[in-house]
Amino acid sequence: DIVMTQSPDSLAVSLGERATINCKSSQTVLYSSNNKEYLAWYQQKPGQPPKLLIYWASTRESGVPDRFSGSGSGTDFTLTISSLQAEDVAVYFCQQYYTTSYTFGQGTKLEIK
């Protein structure tokens, strides 16, 4: 299975500041035939299921605020929140769908400083 490792495990950022979460895969998730990165990002708030934010590593899901952005390629990816809002407090997960045996990162807990 592809192992997804996120860093840091937790992060405290001041309101209005930038938050950056990293995700590293144990092997590439780039499918060369279509040049797409098979990586998604989710946000999970307490008591709720994960919510899709980003797919194809950088495509924002409809309705997701544009302060959320995804970047990266190959094995290294980043989720950036450009200006942290109070409602962004949550746990964030990356997930690869390159192989059928889908795997997730362990999660990064984002809090307000």
How far apart, in whole angstroms, are the C-alpha atoms of residue 113 and residue 89? 11
Applying CB under 8 A, which of residues 28, 58, 69, 103 lies at the interface with other proteins? 103
Name which of 28 and 103 has its Cβ closer to other proteins.
103
How far apart, in whole angstroms, are the C-alpha atoms of residue 84 and residue 89? 9
Residue type, 46: P
Show the binding pattern over residues 18-57: x = contacts other proteins (CB under 8 A), - = does not. --------------------x-x-x-----xxxxx--x--
Name which of 35 and 101 has its Cβ closer to other proteins.
101
Least CB distance to other proteins at residue 90 (A): 14
- Tell the burial category of 71 from Cβ atoms under 10 Å away from its Cβ (0-12, 13-18, 19+): middle
Q: Which spans of this chain sit near other proteins (rule: CB under 8 A)?
A: 1, 38, 40, 42, 48-52, 55, 61, 93, 95, 97, 100-104, 106-107
